Every structure is written in C-alpha cells, then in structure tokens.
C-alpha cells in the first residue's frame, strides 16, 4: 500500500526550501485502527510527510535527475502533539547541507501554528542503473512517473490555492 502524504505544495525554492500541506481526513484508511475512538495520524506517517516533502525538494532541485530517493537517516525526531482528522499539517523543510547525493534537511510540521513534529533528515538519491545498467529503462519510467505526479500536484495546488506553486 502506498500513501501520498502531500496534498499540495504551497511554495518551493529549489536548493533551499519547500512548504507543503497534508489535510488529514477521517477517510484516511490507517485512522480506522489508530486509535479506535481516538483517530490520530501515526507518528511514522507524520515523519513520512516530512520525508515526502523533502524528497520533492530534492527532485525539483536536481531537475528529476535521479529515479530513487530514500530516507538514509533520521536525527533529533520529536513528536510534540497529535494530528487529528480535520487538521491541516503544514510541512516545512529547509536544506541544511548537501554532500553529493546525500542531502540533510531540517523539517517540521505544524498545526494551527503549533509545532507537532520536527526532525533532521538525511535523504539519498541515486539511479538504479548505477548498480546495474540493465535497469536504466526502469529509472526512466520512475522519473517519468515522478514528473507526472508533480504535474498533477501542481494542478491541484493551483486549483486549491488559486495560483501555481512557485518553482
């Protein structure tokens, strides 16, 4: 099962920062069990939202050069409150440092201006063909898929916010 935890990009400054949103709906499948009678976004999903926003910043900054983006390490992860249905998780991620294919981000999520999650994230980008040249076609299909999702997200952001997210 895949989860897209970014509903829209509010602002993106390549090589610097991204601001994204996740609107938590009661319809989210994972809320049925977390927790019965008190549905809240699981902490791992809050972390994943930070990772996904940071990954979009990497993809845009590198002009979709790499097919694969993975979380390499999480540091200083803090959960401070709950995110419940009806809340809008405002995600901000800033590039802290880059070192070849590994980037470090300072990321946080807020609800109504109150920080609910924060972390330092190390993400790594690579192409599968770097390990096996026969996978070059898979790289190209994955990159095309990321571009399609990005374009769809841009259209949704424009519709929901009345303007395109900057790029």
Structure tokens belonging to residue 128: 């599968």
The phi, psi pair for 146, rounded to 5°, reads -60, -40
Question: Is 87 part of the annotated catalytic residue set?
Answer: no
Which position among 34, 87, 146, 161 bears the catalytic label?
34
Structure tokens belonging to residue 82: 């709950």
Determine the Cα angle at 96 with ends 95 and 99, to 5°. 90
Q: How far is CA 76 from its chain centroid?
A: 18
Taking the C-alpha atoms of residue 26 and residue 30, their distance in angstroms, rounded to an integer, is 9
- Residue that is written with structure tokens 């690579």 in the block: 126
Residue numbers annotated as active site: 34
């Amino acid at each position: 099962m895949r989860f897209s935890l970014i509903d829209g990009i509010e602002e993106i400054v390549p090589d610097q920062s991204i601001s994204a949103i996740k609107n938590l709906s009661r319809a989210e499948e994972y809320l049925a069990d977390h927790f019965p009678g008190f549905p809240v976004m699981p902490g791992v999903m809050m972390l994943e939202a930070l990772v996904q926003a940071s990954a979009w910043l990497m993809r845009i900054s590198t002009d979709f050069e790499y097919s694969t983006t993975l979380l390499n390490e999480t540091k200083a992860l803090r959960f401070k409150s709950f995110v419940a249905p009806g809340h809008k998780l405002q995600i901000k991620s800033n590039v802290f440092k880059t070192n070849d294919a590994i980037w470090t981000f300072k990321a946080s999520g807020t609800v109504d201006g109150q920080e609910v999650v924060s972390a330092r994230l190390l993400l790594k980008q690579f192409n599968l063909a770097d390990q096996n040249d026969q996978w070059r076609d898979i790289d190209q299909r994955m990159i095309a898929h990321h571009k399609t999702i990005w374009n769809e997200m841009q259209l949704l952001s424009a519709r929901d916010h009345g303007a395109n997210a900057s790029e």
